[in-house]
Amino acid sequence: MVRESPNPVYVKLEYNESLESKKDLLSSEISFLNLIKIMRRYNALRQEEFLIKLKIDRSLKALDLAVKKTKSTFPFLKIPKQARREEINKKEIVTINKESFDRDLESQLRDIQERLISIGR
């Protein structure tokens, strides 16, 4: 069992030291109160942000539902297999052209490197 001492301990401070300590304590309290004010403002802003996000989410769901309803009213078009094949062929042509363009760039790079080597000699 811990026994409390009957005599409290006193520390003697000069007037200037005590005044400085009081100023430090008051400035700490001011900082603490400002921090509390900032935290409350932050919480209010977070709550406002949450409500705005909730409204946006509800609006997006309503918009999605409206788009689905609108799509369901459109007639469904059947694309013939021949048209689908033509679309696939067009995509293949685009990729082939890109590959040939890449090869052309590589050949140009090699030519430039060869010229640099010949100039350096």
Q: What is the mean pLDDT of the chain?
A: 82
The Cα–Cα gap between 14 and 12 comes to 7
DSSP conformation class of 74 = S
Q: Give the percent of the chain with pLDDT over 70.
A: 74
The Cα–Cα gap between 49 and 39 comes to 15
What stretch of H or E contains 93?
Answer: helix 81-120
Residue 107 has a pLDDT of: 80
Residue 2 has a pLDDT of: 59
Q: pLDDT category, 11, cuts 50, 70, 90?
A: confident
Name the residue ranges covered by the structural domains of the chain: 11-75, 77-121
Over residues 49-64, the pLDDT tens digits come to: 999 999 999 999 999 9
Tell me which residue has tokens 């909730």: 54
> What integer is the mean pLDDT of 80-109?
66
Q: Which of 16-25, 39-48, 83-92 has the highest mean pLDDT?
A: 39-48
Which residues fall within 8 angstroms of residue 13, CB to CB, at 6 or more apart? Answer: 21
